[in-house]
Structure 1
Amino acid sequence: MTFRELMERNRSRRKFDESRPVSADELTELVDLVRFMPSGRNLQPLKYIVTADPAQCVEIFPLLGWAGYLADWKGPAEGERPTGYIIMLLDKDVADTPHCDDGIACQSLMLGAVEKGYGGCIIATVNRKKLAALFDLPDRLEILMVLALGVPAQEVVLESLPSDGSIKYWTGEDGKHHVPKRGLDEILVGRFPKN
C-alpha cells in the first residue's frame, strides 16, 4: 500500500465490526511506532493506555462524544462499537503542553492502524474526569484524546465540497458516510515556479 493509499483510507471511522476484535498486542505495536516520531524539543511528554478488554471497552464507550455534525446520532449501536482504545495522555511532569506532538502521534497511530486493516476515530470530546477515575490516573497524567479502534464496518466516501461550501459530513440512506473535502486548488495558495 502506498503512502497516498494509506492517507486516502485513513478516514474517521465510527462503525466497527465487533465480531472482529483488535488485540492489546496490536495496540501496543501501534504505540511502539510513535516512540520513533519527532517530538517538540525531544521532550516526548506523551504517555498511553491501551485496552482491548471487552469490559473496559463497555465502560469507556459512554464517556465519549461521537460525530458532532450528526446531532441525532448517539454513536455506534451495539455490535458496531470499537473493540479497542488508545488513550493519549500528557505527562505534566515532563511538559505543560504537548506542543504539536499530539497531532503527530494521532496521525501516526491512525496510519499504523489502517496499515493493519483497522480504522478509528480520534475523539477529543471525552468525559475526562470519569475516564481518569476508571484508570485511577494520577493528576500529572492529563487525558488529551481517545482513539477508538476496530475493523471498519461502514464505507466512507470522499466528495468535493457542495456548491454551498458546507464541510459537514453526513450519512446517506444507503448507510455510506459522506465527507466533503476541499480541492487542491482551494488549499494550495501559492506555487513557485508557476509553470
Structure 2
Amino acid sequence: MRKRNTLRQGFACPERSTMTVHDAVHARRTIRKFTREAVPEALVKAWIDGARLSPCSANQQPLKYKLLMGDAAAPLLPFLRWAVMIAPQLEPKPEELPPAFVVIAVDTAIRAAGAEIDVGIAAQTIALLAEEQGVASALLSLRSREVPVRDALHLPEQMMPALAIALGHSAMEAEAVPYEDTHKYRLDEDGKLLVPKRSLSEVLL
C-alpha cells in the first residue's frame, strides 16, 4: 500500500515511500478517468520542483509550468486529446476529470525551438514522482500548441504550451501486455485498458 503524503508548513513533504524508481516505471500507465479525491496543490508543486531539476539541453531551462487546480482547468479542456485510438470510450466524463493539471510551456525568449526532448524529460519526472505517491497521470498532447491555448490560459506572449499532464487518483485499471499484432491499446471485456509493449529483446540492438 502506497503511503499518503503529509503537508508541513505549506510544503509537500511526502512520507518515505517503499516504491523505487524501477517500481514506479513499471507500475505507471496512462490513466484517463479519475476519482473525486483531491491532490494537494503543494504536492503538485513539489513534483514540478523535481521537474525543474531535470536534465535539459545546454542547461538553458526554457520550460515553465502552469498549474491548474479544479475549475481553473476549464479553459484547457477543449484543447486536450485524451485517447485518439479509442475515443470516445476513454474520454473522461465531467465527474471523471482529474483534480489537477500541469501545462508545460516553452519560454521562447530563452529557447525559440528544439525543446521537445526537455519537455518529455520534465513530463516523465512529474509522472514518476506522482506515481511514487499513488497519484495517477496522463501525458496529453494539445489540439493546438500555440496561440489558442496560450491565450485561453492567459500566458505571456513568449510562452508556447507543449504538453498537459493530468494528475489524480485512478478510477480505472490499466495493464501493460505483450506486444503481438498491433501497438493500439484496447479495452478488455471488463473495461480494463490493455497497453501492448514490445519486449526487451525486441528493443535491444
Q: Give the TM-score normalised by the residue count of structure 2.
A: 0.84
Q: How many residues align?
A: 185
Structure 1, unaligned stretches of length 5 or more?
Answer: 190-195
SS in 2 for 1:14: coil
Are 1:88 and 2:104 an aligned pair?
A: yes
Report if the CA contact (8 A) 1:40-1:99 is conserved: no
> Of the candidates 29, 45, 49, which is equivalent to residue 32 of structure 1?
49
Report the Cα offset of residue 73 of structure 1.
Answer: 3.0
Report if the CA contact (8 A) 1:43-1:95 is conserved: yes
Distance in 1, matches of 2:116 and 2:81, equals: 24
The structure-2 alpha-carbon separation of the partners of 1:159 and 1:58, relative to structure 1 and needing over 3 Å to count, comes to: same
Distance in 2, matches of 1:55 and 1:116, equals: 23
Give the aligned partner of residue 56 of structure 1: 72
Structure with the higher fraction of residues in strand conformation: 2
Stretch of structure 1 that moved more, 125-134 or 7-16: 125-134
Stretch of structure 1 that moved more, 85-94 or 22-31: 22-31
Give the letter for the 1:102 counterpart: V
> Of the candidates 38, 61, 68, which is equivalent to residue 84 of structure 2?
68
Are 1:175 and 2:191 an aligned pair?
A: yes
SS in 2 for 1:168: coil
Report the Cα offset of residue 85 of structure 1.
Answer: 0.4
Q: Map Cα deviations across residues 164-189 of structure 1 (whole Å, 9 max, x no partner).
A: 2x010011221111000001110012
Are 1:79 and 2:101 an aligned pair?
A: no
Q: Give the TM-score normalised by the residue count of structure 1.
A: 0.88
Report the Cα offset of residue 74 of structure 1.
Answer: 6.3
> Of the candidates 149, 152, 164, which is equivalent to residue 134 of structure 1?
152
Distance in 2, matches of 1:78 and 1:2, equals: 33
Distance in 2, matches of 1:7 and 1:28, equals: 21
Report the Cα offset of residue 158 of structure 1.
Answer: 1.0
Two-structure CA RMSD over aligned residues (Å): 1.6
Q: Map Cα deviations across residues 69-100 of structure 1 (whole Å, 9 max, x no partner).
A: 10343611122111100000100010112152
Are 1:12 and 2:30 an aligned pair?
A: yes
Structure 2, unaligned stretches of length 5 or more?
Answer: 1-18
> Of the candidates 170, 174, 179, which is equivalent to residue 161 of structure 1?
179
Give the aligned partner of residue 192 of structure 1: none
Distance in 1, matches of 2:90 and 2:25, equals: 27
State the percentage of identical aligned residues: 30
Give the aligned partner of residue 170 of structure 2: 152
